[in-house]
A and B are shown apart, each in its own frame.
Chain A
């Protein structure tokens, strides 16, 4: 034993790491990867940005953010939670299946004490995450800044995103 106490290395001097997530999908299941990782990066003291583009813009659109859906149409790996048998694609298109799958997934997520999208966005902003909306997507959808969640800092072009993400690790989801 030495006189100097054993102190964890919180890596405070290591400030050069920076991460940018590109959120491009608007389904419930694909909204979470960027949010969970961005949140984890913020907890580690890393400068973190998320760029919402194409359907990913729904994650920060007031009209849609509370109502993202999960469908297993096209998800050929689909099986019930913990289940062994795959669920036939032909069933995925039946009326009510998307609503049912969405309800089930939301319950599983909330059972893990993971917030729904609007609260998650709020939390990430409060933790210092910087949220950006893609200009081309905003124009395509005919939105104004007011249609977007208040946490979104600005609507930026692809070029501006490349500037924002200078020196960052970029993760496309």
Chain B
């Protein structure tokens, strides 16, 4: 009983504190978000209407940068490439990691942690070493992969990195190799979270493994899948390191991504306004897609 009176007394003092405390706790994020994200986005909009090489004052040129952007075949290529990488990530990497997770979730599997560790390893490594290894393996003249093909099938003359089509394929193979294990880990955690009783009930009702996968496993994995899909969408839409390090966007511009296009325009050609305009276009596309899928899947909502 005496505890109740204490509660009300100290409760009142700290209830004032309880009202502003959460604002104080989340304020560092909002401070940094405003200074280092909102302000740059606003500045980017302004900058995109100017021509500027970084010295003096920016010249206001209206929407010229945008008009130029939409006629620039390099920008078109980079948009298409980025779309290709993103669709590949969602349509191939995602299902592949679900399959691997399903395999790792097999009952009584030995060495599960070992396999998971090995598959996860690429995420830990610097993209430089990964690009270097892939460069060695897929080198058109001296590469390991061509040597293996030569030994097995008697032909090995594919110029993996200097043919526009094959170079794109190698980039997505790199994406597949680098990210599958990471996503697998999320799917595996999701699978381990599904109550076993659900599977048993379905089994008793006569559902085979495939049927059980589609009517028990997939629906139960909803939240994980949504989270992974959104993360992967946003990550792959801003892909930079893989093509930059592996092929420098080449041959020509055939593997260049939008992030690379922006980097090149801004920091190699010093067309800051033009780069900013490309940034605005990217923002509109990625943010719209990201926001849409976040609300469509209900990711991040409190239960």
A and B found bound together: no
Q: Which residues of A contact B (CB under 8 A)?
A: none
Q: Which residues of B contact A (CB under 8 A)?
A: none
